[in-house]
Every structure is written in structure tokens, then in C-alpha cells.
Amino acid sequence: MTELTEPRASISAAEFAEGVRKRLVQRWGVDEAAASPVQIYQAASQLVRDRMAPSWKCSNRRMAEGTTRTVGYLSAEYLLGRQLPNALLDAGMTDQFNEAMRELGFDPDDVIEAEHEPGLGNGGLGRLAACFMDSLASLDLPAIGYGIRYRYGIFEQVFDANGRQSEKPDDWLSAGDAWGYRQTERAQRVAFGGQVTEQGGHRVWHPAWSVQAVPYDYPIPGYASGRINTLRLWQSEALDGFDLQRFNQSDYGGAVQAQVRANTISAILYPEDSNTDGKRLRLEQQYFFVAASLADAIATFYHGQAHPDLSALPDHICFQLNDTHPVIGIAELMRILLDDFGYEWAQAWEITQRTFNYTCHTLLPEALEEWPRSLFAELLPRHMEIIERIDADFVRYLRDEQVDQERIDAMRIITRGEDPTIRMAYLATVGSTKVNGVAQLHSRLLQEVTLRDFHTVYPGKFTNVTNGVTPRRFMRLANPRLSDLITEGLGTDSWVADLSKLSGLEPLADDDGFVARFMHVKDDNKRDFALYAQRRYGFSPDPSTMFDVMVKRLHEYKRQSLKILAVIADYSDIIAGGSDNHRAQPRTVIFGAKAAPGYAMAKLTIQLINNVARVINADPRTDGLLKVYFPANYNISMAEHLIPATDLDEQISQAGKEASGTSNMKFALNGALTVGTLDGANVEIREKVGAENFFAFGLNVDQVHALDAEGYAPMAYYDKDARLRAAIDMVASGAFSHGDRDTYRKLVQDWLKHDQFMVMADFGAYMDAQRRIDQAYRQPDQWARKAILNIARCGSFSSDRAVEDYLTRIWMPGTRR
Ligand code: GPV
């Protein structure tokens, strides 16, 4: 199907098929006639992996022995998506794979879909880490990603008959791991608990228990760069797994007790997104992977030297802290330098600060991680002492700088009072060279609000790196038709590795032929999605309607409730106006969203969306005008099908709450127009594409603050706006709960009485924006032109650009590549 060129690998389709056959026989003793798609997928992956091995080894050696500073990305989450199609693209084997699969009697798509995507992340933060890994390799930069090999990834979402979410474990390893290499020789011991004593003037930690961290290495191939970096994910195991003594005494549970306890640490990804949750196990997870990673990095660059010169550590590697989850690394490196290698405090601190940088991904105060001091001291007593000293030194420094006491108390790493906590964002800020936000607006608000005092004390520390997304996965792989069209338009496919080249499309926005071809691409993508939805979810969206999409984690600040209230208002309008309704632009509204299992309000919103969909879709008066779908279990694979088929992208968070957003970039680059608030990276997207090609609405950050200050009264909007009243009354009346007026009472009460994220205040502006959108959509060629300009002007939202910014602003300032 695709005409695009790839870097060609020296393998023929026949050799590929033969390689798969050979592996099928060796591993399972089957031939292609007896093999399942999963087995074909496994064998093909193994073949691709085997062929990558020499380059991988070479990249690893270059990293360990080279003089370029390695980037150590520390992240509790990597939301990778399927590995095989990406590896095929990077290795230049897609065509050979496709042909080989047909020769073996399989549909290539079925084999690709046999891969259970590794969902080792929650949402934007984890996907960003995956995009950065891709870009680092594609830019031929030495990098290693460190994280956790969760036995169960992000839960599988299912909806019950009442439209409520329930969760099933994500058993992603059940068919075996086609990409991870267990590296037993690189295992590290990680210790917890116990006491600290004084011995000969030194503090000595006597841990109470420890586990074995065993790494699994995943290849991260670069696109057309030849480099294959490593993602090293740690698995927790017992040091001596099986207690034969106890087993022989018939204590079968006791025999595996240590195993079970140790395995628990890497058992499951916490399904929390932009939210803290103070679980002891989570702290264990964080320390577990960070301690193993630091030890591993030292082993990599110092090969077991007895007296390594660790003052050079920051010349070998710099660690990027992906939010606060790995921030305990600051205390751990201090511990290593002080206790294991005998460095003086001052020098250890200098080395540590030079080694770490911190990325903050939120503005929500409740998302800034804090650990109860008591829990922390129990689990990591030596680290607690170290953090106390860091805190004390910091307070002394602030006093010397004439900072007043009240401000000092507000800035302390360890809070005062009854139940002191450790504020990890503050520790990160004090212990790092650079602190960055993830979009211009976010970085500004970090400096002016969230970390204002720190910015006053360390103005030079703060910087911005606006997020980006990889064009390989989210354009080239997800949208082959658009990719072909872009390549044709530009006369080259070099844009895949240099997205700034998209600006060359700008003149084609005025070329009728190109515009028509773009419209065809979008139509075909919508038809494809309709088939996929039919096959996977049993619904069939009408491709002649506008595809209006809101996909992201379910969170009150993201305001799915604003969207569903607008849908209900439209529905109520349709019912009132009959089928010759003048304004109704036929729409298919598609939601995708998981709620954290303990987040009641988010789960209730999911239930409401499902039931609104049920009622609307069953009402014949909406035929040809409005349909609502909510396929369960939104994940990377669904995104890859849905984003290319989208006309309108919803990015409607309350201004000042979404740090950046990254799906906004993916949609714009795939030729969707955005309806959005002036929040996160929306602001920059709008600046780039032009205000006339972006549907902005709603309160901006200053207006939100002003409204808060004057006293926000949501009820007033309900009283004033008949559309809003109609929508809320409908929910309250039981129209979406089989007549039960209680089901959504909590939601309705919240909208009218509390409404923390000002849905009511923005509703009117949002409805008006949707009517402008209807108007614009009625001129398909004008709409397409805007979409093309979105693509042409969004090249800077490549994660390649983001990584280049990290390089010049954070990792290697002063150098130019
Ligand atoms: I903190 N983000 C996330 O996905 N999980 C988290 O726990 C936290 C932040 C997201 C932000 O919400 C997005 O605005 C942002 O685009 C993304 O991180 C990547 O920076």
C-alpha cells in the first residue's frame, strides 16, 4: 500500500519468510499452517531483534566508551505502544515483512495486531518518555532509559451494562516477551529499611531487607540513524527465591513468601495520573528502580573500578528526572558518594547537583508528590538523614540570602508541624542544575506561581522545553496515506527525520489539486476507522459526518463534562427542533478515556458519557445528525487508528491546568483542527498555525484568576443560559439513568455548587465556538486548507526538536550541534 521509501535493509521477503519458518519450528515445532498470529508475531519480532543485535551492541559500546555525555532518562512510565511496526520501519523491513506474511498465508495487519502493546504508563507523561527515547536514538545521541518492568501495565478498561468502568489486569507478558532481553549479569541488589548507626565517625546503614533488581533490555532503534539505544527496565525478584527448608516442612506458602514480597515491587503500574497517592509500595517502586539505575550507570562508566573518580560522573551521564517519581535519586547518589565512596559532603553535593535535571509536568498542587516523613524514615532511614541535611543546608543558604522566615518555611523540603512530609518537587528543584516546564505557559506559571519562591532564589535554574511527539509513530506509521501525500508534496520523505520540512507544504494549501487529495486522505482514514470500529467495538461511525474527538485521561480539569454537556445541549436542541433543524452539522462524537480506579467523580463522568451515548444513539430523531461513541480501553493502538481519522480535536482543559498536552500536537500534525482553551501547548499551536486556523474559546489564565478572586458562582451561569439549563436539567431528570434522579446527583451538585474547573463559566463560549465550527465545516475545501496549514506549521512539535532543546538548554549547554 505504501509508496514511501525506507532505509533499505539487506533482507529479501523470501529470506524474511524463511527466517520466520525457522524460528517457528525451533521454538514451537510448528509450521506456518499450524501457527497462530501470535506465534508469527513472536517469530517475526525475534528475527527483527536478532538482526538489530550487532548495531545494538555497537551503540552500547559507543555509549559506554565514547566521550559524549550520555542522557540517562529516569522515568517510572514508558507508554511504548506496539514495537514491531516501529522496529520494521526503523530497520527498513516493512515491505519485506508484508510480503513475507502474505507468503506465509497471513494478513500483515493481523500479525501486527497480535502484539499486546506494552502499556507501562498512564498517559501523556509516559508517552512523552517513549517519544523522547525514539528521538534520542533517531538523532544518534547516546542515551539510556531506566524504568520498571511492570508485570501488569495500565489496566484494561471494560464497561459494564450500566456504562460503568471496571478494570482488568493488563497481562501483557502472557504470550512471552518478544523484545526484552533478560540481563542477569547486570542485576543489582536494592536494600530497604533497617537502622543507621555511627561507626568511626561514619554513618552506616544496616538495611533490614533487600531484593534483586534484574534488568530487561529493550532495543530503541533510531529512525535511519543506525543507532539502537537501550531501555533498561528493572524487575524485582527475591535474592534467594525459594525457601527449601520451609517447603520441606510443608510450609508451602512460607516457602515462596520472600518471592511474593519481592515480586510485588514491580508487579503493577499505579494507575494514577496527575495525582499523588501515598502508598508505601509506590515509594518502594521509586527507590527500587532509581537505586538499581544509579548503580548500573556507575557500573557502566567505571567497570567495577575500586576507586572510581566519580567527580567525572556528570561528564559521563546526566539524569533527567521525569517528574518527581525518580527524585529519590538525588538522595541515593548522595548516599553512594558519601557512604560507598567516602566523598565529603560538599563535593558529593556538587557532583549530585551537576548530575540531575528535573522536568515538572503539572501545575496541580495535589500532583506534587509528598511523602510522610515517618513512612520515608522507616523505609529509607539513611536517605532521610541525607534529606534532612540537604534541607538544613538549604535553610541556612536562604537565611544567608536574607529570605524572611515565613518564606523559608514555605520553601522547606521537609515541612514542619505534626505530620511532616518531604516535598519531592522542592528536593528536585534544589538538587538539580536545571528545572523545566513542558510548554511556554506552563514554564511561566511554574516560575510565577507553583515554584515562584525558588525562581526568585535561583532564577537561572529555570527553563522551558515545549513537549513534542515523534513523527515516526504518529505520522509515518499511523497515517501512511497522509505520509505519502506529504512526501509527494515535498518531493522527499526527509520530513520524517526533520519535521521542520513540513513548512514546505504551506504553498500547497492553495493548490486545489493538493487540497482535494488531502480531503480524500481524510475520507479514506475515516472509512478505515469506521471499519476498524466495526470490527473491534461493534459500532460504525458514518464517515460523511464530522468526527469530533476527545481522547485523554478522564480528569475533572480536562473537562470531559464540558464536552458531554454540550453534546446533551445539542441533543436537546435536535429534539426540540425536529429533523429539519437548521444548524445541525452532522457529527460523530468519539470519546476515549480511562479513569483512575479510585477517582469517583471521573468514574461517574464515564458512566454519564456512556449513558448519553446509549440514549442519543437509540433515538431516531438524531439519525444523520448526532451519534456518540465511547470505545473502551483507549490506548496507543487505538490512538494510531483514531487520530488520522479526526476532523475536530477537543483540547478544552481549564486554562492554567494542562501543563502541555501532547495529543493536541498529534492531532494537528494529522490534519485535525483544534477547539481549545488557551492552555498548555494549545497556546503555542495556535500561535504557529494562526488564530484563524484554530478555534480558541473560553477564559484565559488571567480571567480564571480574576474570577476566582471575585468569588466564582457557577449557579449564575445556569440561571442565565437556557442551553446550559436544558442540558443540566436533562441529566438531573434521569434522562440518562432510566429515570433515576439520584445516579448523577453528585455531578449535578458539583456543577452547580462547586465547579472547581469552571465548566459553567466556559459553557457559553464553548457552544458559540462549536457553532463557528459548524459554519467552517460547511466549506470542506476551506476546512481542508486550514488543516493543511496546521500540518505545515506544526513541524516544531516534533520530539526531535524537543530533544534538541534539551540538549542545548539542559544536557549540553554551550555546545551547538
Ligand atoms: I504530573 N502528566 C501525566 O500524564 N501524568 C502525570 O502524572 C503528570 C503529568 C502529563 C500532563 O498532564 C500533560 O499536560 C503533559 O503534556 C504530559 O504530562 C507530558 O509532559
pLDDT for res 5: 47
> If residue 669 lies in a helix (H) or strand (E), which one and from where to where?
helix 663-669
Alpha-carbon distance of 304 to 326, in angstroms, equals 24
Look at strands 370-372 and 421-423 and give their pairing: antiparallel
Helix axes 722-732, 560-577, angle to 10 degrees: 100
Does the beta carbon of 676 sit less than 6 angstroms from any atom of ligand 1? no
User: Which numbered atom of ligand 1 lies nearest the CA of 659?
Assistant: 14
Instruction: For the chain, list the domains and their CATH numbers.
Output: 67-81+117-467+804-811 (3.40.50.2000), 471-797 (3.40.50.2000)
**Ligand 1 pocket check: which of 122, 325, 362, 665 to mutate, most ligand atoms within 8 Å of Cβ?**
362
Does the beta carbon of 661 sit less than 6 angstroms from any atom of ligand 1? yes
Does the beta carbon of 662 sit less than 6 angstroms from any atom of ligand 1? yes
Does the beta carbon of 596 sit less than 6 angstroms from any atom of ligand 1? no
> If residue 419 lies in a helix (H) or strand (E), which one and from where to where?
none
6 φ/ψ angles, rounded to the nearest 5 degrees: -130, 160
- Exposure of 484 in the CB half-sphere (CA atoms within 13 A): 11
527 CA distance to ligand 1 middle (Å): 32
pLDDT for res 575: 95
The residues near 439 (Cβ < 8 Å, ≥ 6 apart) are 464, 466, 467, 659, 660, 661, 680, 681, 683, 684
Does the beta carbon of 337 sit less than 6 angstroms from any atom of ligand 1? no
Mean pLDDT for each 10-residue chunk of the chain (817 residues)?
51 98 98 98 97 96 94 98 98 97 98 98 98 98 98 98 98 96 97 96 95 98 96 95 85 88 95 85 98 98 92 98 98 98 98 98 92 97 98 98 97 96 98 98 97 97 98 98 98 98 98 98 98 97 98 98 98 81 82 97 98 98 97 98 99 98 99 98 98 98 98 98 98 98 98 98 98 97 98 99 98 71
**152 DSSP assignment:** B
373 CA distance to ligand 1 middle (Å): 26
User: Which numbered atom of ligand 1 lies nearest the CA of 367?
Assistant: 1
Does the beta carbon of 122 sit less than 6 angstroms from any atom of ligand 1? yes
Nearest residue to 790 via CA among 655, 634, 635, 675: 675
4 φ/ψ angles, rounded to the nearest 5 degrees: -70, 150
Q: What residue type is assigned to position 510 of the chain?
A: D
For 711, the grid coordinates are 468569588
**Ligand 1 pocket check: which of 274, 594, 652 to mutate, most ligand atoms within 8 Å of Cβ?**
274
CB 594 within 8 A of CB 632: no
Quick one: residue 798, left, alpha or beta (phi over 0 = left, psi -120 to 50 = alpha)?
beta
User: Could you list the active site residues?
Assistant: 361, 552-553, 558, 662, 666
Alpha-carbon distance of 610 to 632, in angstroms, equals 10
Alpha-carbon distance of 57 to 68, in angstroms, equals 17
Does the beta carbon of 276 sit less than 6 angstroms from any atom of ligand 1? no
Alpha-carbon distance of 430 to 446, in angstroms, equals 15
77 CA distance to ligand 1 middle (Å): 11
For 307, the grid coordinates are 576507586
- Of all protein residues, whose CA lies closest to atom 19 belonging to ligand 1? 125
For 338, the grid coordinates are 558519601
Alpha-carbon distance of 766 to 676, in angstroms, equals 9
Does the beta carbon of 660 sit less than 6 angstroms from any atom of ligand 1? yes
Query: Where are the extended beta strands (E) located within 654-694?
Result: 673-676
pLDDT for res 276: 81
Does the beta carbon of 124 sit less than 6 angstroms from any atom of ligand 1? yes
536 CA distance to ligand 1 middle (Å): 28
**507 DSSP assignment:** G
- Of all protein residues, whose CA lies closest to atom 3 belonging to ligand 1? 125
Does the beta carbon of 273 sit less than 6 angstroms from any atom of ligand 1? yes
User: Which numbered atom of ligand 1 lies nearest the CA of 360?
Assistant: 1
- Evaluated on CA atoms 666, 668, 672, 678, the torsion sign reads positive
Query: Where are the extended beta strands (E) located within 418-525?
Result: 421-423, 435-437, 462-464
- Residue whose cell numbers read 530533544: 803
127 CA distance to ligand 1 middle (Å): 9
291 CA distance to ligand 1 middle (Å): 24
755 exposure class (CB count in 10 Å sphere: 0-12, 13-18, 19+): buried
Residue 397 CB neighbour total at 10 angstroms: 13
- Exposure of 129 in the CB half-sphere (CA atoms within 13 A): 29
Alpha-carbon distance of 309 to 401, in angstroms, equals 33
Does the beta carbon of 235 sit less than 6 angstroms from any atom of ligand 1? no
Does the beta carbon of 125 sit less than 6 angstroms from any atom of ligand 1? yes
Q: What residue type is assigned to position 163 of the chain?
A: G
For 408, the grid coordinates are 523559608
CB 453 within 8 A of CB 411: yes
- Of all protein residues, whose CA lies closest to atom 16 belonging to ligand 1? 661
Does the beta carbon of 467 sit less than 6 angstroms from any atom of ligand 1? yes
User: Which numbered atom of ligand 1 lies nearest the CA of 275?
Assistant: 7
- In SS3 terms, 582-639 reads as CCCCCEEEEEECCCCCCCHHHHHHHHHHHHHHHHHHHCHHHCCCEEEECCCCCCHHHH
User: Which numbered atom of ligand 1 lies nearest the CA of 128?
Assistant: 19
**Ligand 1 pocket check: which of 273, 275, 359, 361 to mutate, most ligand atoms within 8 Å of Cβ?**
361
User: Which numbered atom of ligand 1 lies nearest the CA of 359?
Assistant: 20
Does the beta carbon of 658 sit less than 6 angstroms from any atom of ligand 1? yes
322 CA distance to ligand 1 middle (Å): 10
> If residue 205 lies in a helix (H) or strand (E), which one and from where to where?
strand 202-206
User: Which numbered atom of ligand 1 lies nearest the CA of 467?
Assistant: 20
Look at strands 648-651 and 546-551 and give their pairing: parallel
**Ligand 1 pocket check: which of 73, 79, 125 to mutate, most ligand atoms within 8 Å of Cβ?**
125
